[in-house]
Amino acid sequence: MSTRRKFLQTAAVAGGTAALGSAHIYAEEPKKITWRLQTYAGPALAEHVIKPSIEAFNKVAEGQMEIQLYFADQLVPTGELFRAMQKGTIDAVQSDDDSIAAPVDVAVFGGYFPFASRYSLDVPTLFEQHGLRQIWEEAYSEVKGVTWLGAGSWDPCNFATVQPINSLADLKGKRVFTFPTAGKFLSRFGVIPVTLPWEDVEVAIQTGELDGIAWSGITEDYTVGWANVTKYFLTNNISGAWIGSYFANTEKWEAVPEQLKTLFKLCMDSSHYYRQHWYWGGEAKLRVQGDKLKLTTIPDAEWKTVEAEAHKFWEEIAKTSPRCAKVVEIFKNYNALMEKAGPPYRY
């Protein structure tokens, strides 16, 4: 009886201690938040455009939150990313509005809107100093389930091709992997836009399904392996920088504590900063020192006709909605300002 009495007393104390311990653990260690974020980029490109910032976020979050990173088409086809995020199938996305079929009128300006920018710094300047941020926030506030978190700039849009491009006539009939709006514009010059999963592009060039790419600058051509299967790089570009954004499922974003929201935005800015110098330096260095792609150029006088056609394209887009008209007006005013400012803003 003495042994039994001691056992019951010990069990009672242990049980009470365990209960107190459990309550303490519950109070001090809330359930970890886990996100699945899919980027537009394949693995080799993601190593630069997003992976370091996500790894930094996970490290600093110290177990309170973890972002699991997935690459192009890994969970969901790129063209279905917006809907998947809206439904909560995935929690966040890094891409351009155009490629993920965002149901907003300003989506047409995401990715490469022809001749809207000349240099990578144009993009953050347009968003932070000329009103594009407020316009994007307004547009996405009208869509349920997705929160637009911010935009940044990537590389310019040049052609990398199997055959040389020395004139506009050389573009006719070329099957090219590119972005939706860029493809729509380039089709005016006889280009045949082709949509493929990102990972299939290299093989499609080798098999002859594609004649080239208008999806990036030369830095990406070398980084992702496209310089291994193409021979020529056209120095003329239709855009000085790709406009890409971060998005999140609204419910999941609102459930994130404020300090982790701030951390995520800081990591976005870190990624934006890294790309500024990675692309800017890479575009110059690989033009000069790269040994895989021969440079070609369409003469300035002929290329001016492409720019003139782009401005006609702007006017067509401006007619699609009052908000699009406002964006086009901002592009016009901004580029006029840069021209008046002269070198180094415009030459």
Check which CATH number belongs to the domain holding 272 and give it.
3.40.190.170
Q: What is the pLDDT of residue 7?
A: 33
Task: Give residue 305's pLDDT band: very low, low, confident or very high (50, 70, 90).
Answer: very high
Asked whether residue 9 is domain-assigned, the answer is no
Handedness of CA 274, 276, 277, 278 (dihedral sign): positive
Residue found by looking up tokens 């002929």 in the block: 302
Are residue 215 and residue 231 in the same domain, yes or no? yes
Are residue 123 and residue 230 in the same domain, yes or no? no
Q: What is the pLDDT of residues 130-176, one digit of tens each?
A: 999 999 999 999 999 999 999 999 999 999 999 999 999 999 999 99
Asked whether residue 320 is domain-assigned, the answer is yes
Give start and end residues of each alpha helix (H) in the chain.
Answer: 2-28, 43-49, 51-61, 81-87, 122-129, 132-141, 180-186, 201-207, 218-223, 250-254, 258-289, 300-318, 322-341
| Residue 112 domain boundaries | 33-153+241-285
Q: Which of 253, 268, 285 is the last residue of a domain?
A: 285
Are residue 137 and residue 216 in the same domain, yes or no? no
pLDDT at 277 over 70: yes
pLDDT at 28 over 60: no
Are residue 337 and residue 223 in the same domain, yes or no? yes
Are residue 104 and residue 175 in the same domain, yes or no? no
Asked whether residue 10 is domain-assigned, the answer is no
Tally of structural domains, the chain: 2
Q: Within 13 Å, how many C-alpha atoms sit on residue 335's CB side?
A: 16
- State residue 50 phi and psi, 5-degree precision: -155, -35
CA distance 15 to 11: 6
Q: What is the pLDDT of residue 27?
A: 52
Asked whether residue 103 is domain-assigned, the answer is yes
Are residue 38 and residue 119 in the same domain, yes or no? yes
Asked whether residue 3 is domain-assigned, the answer is no
pLDDT at 2 over 80: no
The two beta strands, 192-194 and 175-178, are parallel
Q: Is 85 exposed, middle or buried (0-12, 13-18, 19+ CB in 10 A)?
A: buried
Asked whether residue 25 is domain-assigned, the answer is no
Asked whether residue 310 is domain-assigned, the answer is yes
Q: What is the pLDDT of residue 181?
A: 97
Are residue 147 and residue 254 in the same domain, yes or no? yes
The average pLDDT across 100-115 equals: 98
Q: What is the pLDDT of residues 43-60, one digit of tens each?
A: 999 999 999 999 999 999
Are residue 44 and residue 137 in the same domain, yes or no? yes
Handedness of CA 195, 200, 202, 206 (dihedral sign): negative
pLDDT at 327 over 90: yes
Asked whether residue 22 is domain-assigned, the answer is no
Q: What is the pLDDT of residue 286?
A: 98
Q: What is the pLDDT of residue 30?
A: 73
Assessment of whether the complete model's pTM goes beyond 0.85:
yes
pLDDT at 13 over 90: no
Are residue 226 and residue 84 in the same domain, yes or no? no
Are residue 216 and residue 260 in the same domain, yes or no? no
Task: Give residue 12's pLDDT band: very low, low, confident or very high (50, 70, 90).
Answer: very low
- Mean predicted lDDT score pLDDT of the chain: 93
Tokens of 232: 């020529």
Are residue 38 and residue 102 in the same domain, yes or no? yes
Name the β-bridge partners of 244.
Answer: 152
Q: With beta carbons less than 8 A apart as the criterion, state whether 73 and 18 touch.
A: no
Q: With beta carbons less than 8 A apart as the criterion, state whether 221 and 233 touch.
A: yes
Q: With beta carbons less than 8 A apart as the criterion, state whether 153 and 241 touch.
A: yes
Q: What is the pLDDT of residues 29-47, one digit of tens each?
A: 678 999 999 999 999 999 9
Contacts 24+ apart (CB under 8 A), 202-207: 202/226, 202/228, 202/229, 204/177, 205/162, 205/229, 205/230
Q: Which of 285, 301, 317 is the last residue of a domain?
A: 285
Are residue 191 and residue 332 in the same domain, yes or no? yes
